[in-house]
Amino acid sequence: MGPLPKRKVSRSRRNRRRAHDSLTLNHLIVCEGCGEYHLAHHVCAKCGTYRGETVVEVEEA
Ligand SMILES: [Zn+2]
């Protein structure tokens, strides 16, 4: 058996640990298409590319 946690983390302890997770907006990466920040694993809303490839054509407003 590999290394495993000794005991289950309780719901309250897990939630306490995650209490501060939303304080900073992480999961942001720099877009390869336009250089703006956008969410990782998401298509860029500004230029419609994902990892450098155009996925959606974005209409200019
Ligand atoms: Zn972009």
Q: Is residue 41 part of a domain?
A: yes
Rg (CA), the chain: 19
Q: What is the DSSP letter of 58?
A: P
Query: What spacing in Å lies between the alpha carbon of 7 and ligand 1's midpoint?
Result: 43
Instruction: Tell me the residue range of the domain where 37 lies.
Output: 25-61
Answer whether 41's CB lies under 8 Å from 51's CB.
no
9-21 as b/e: b if 16+ CB within 10 A: eeeeeeeeeeeee
Domain-located, residue 1: no
Confidence of residue 22 (pLDDT cuts 50, 70, 90): confident
Distance 24 CA to ligand 1 centre (A): 21
What distance in angstroms lies between residue 61's CA and the mean position of ligand 1's atoms?
15
Domains held by the chain: number = 1
Q: Answer whether residue 45 is part of any domain.
A: yes
pLDDT of residue 1: 79
What is the distance in A from the centroid of ligand 1 to the CA of 18? 30
8 in any annotated domain: no
What is the 37 CA–ligand 1 centroid distance (Å)?
8
Q: What is the pLDDT of residues 33-43, one digit of tens each?
A: 899 999 999 99
Q: How far apart are CA 43 and CA 35, in angstroms?
A: 13
